[in-house]
Amino acid sequence: MKKEELKSTIRNVPDFPIKGIQFKDLTTMFMNASALKAAVDDLYEEYKDKGITKVVGLESRGFIIGPALAIRLNAGFIPIRKPGKLPYDTIKIEYKKEYGTDTIEIHTDSIEEKDVVLIHDDLLATGGTAEAAIKLVEKMKPQKIYACFIVELDNLKGRERIKCPTYSTLHYNE
């Protein structure tokens, strides 16, 4: 599936979650088997030779493609979640995002210094959540960190906040 075809499977929802935001709803892509496979295949092709040992998915939409990508890369999957959702010892970070502040957590024993980590989320907008996830993973001192997204909203310049090699399957400039 070509990237323009893949883009056509994503629904645009105006004024969500607040007025003026043009929300990219990837659930319509996820329910299309060919599009879902194309998204996973594209990310796999980008990272298949990078030695990834752990894929970290951000709550909650990073939990959709993240595990499928981990399976393809023969890597483990690690969730980053909102506070109180992980059952074991965690480390956390608080960060600012477009609509206020938030906190995310990861299990303290999920990443080792020998790991090569790929952080995945469905969409890169202003970069606040991704930047926080990278800082959280950096505390665990892995060998290398990469970040990937299905969609990147280029005009919001979130990539400028990402301090590791980054890849996005689809780009929008609106």
Catalytic residue check, 98: yes
**Ramachandran angles phi, psi of 168, nearest 5°:** -130, 135
Query: Rounded to an integer, what is the distance from CA 83 to the centroid of its chain?
Result: 18
Question: Helix, strand, coil proportions of the chain in percent (round to 5)?
Answer: 30, 35, 35
Contact 78, 104 (CB under 8 A): no
| Per annotation, catalytic residue among 5, 94, 98, 112 | 98
Residue entry with tokens 């060919």? 34
Catalytic residue check, 72: no
| Per annotation, catalytic residue among 61, 72, 159, 161 | 61
Give how far Cα 28 sits from Cα of 3, 13, 22, Å: 15, 11, 15
- The catalytic site residues sit at 61, 98
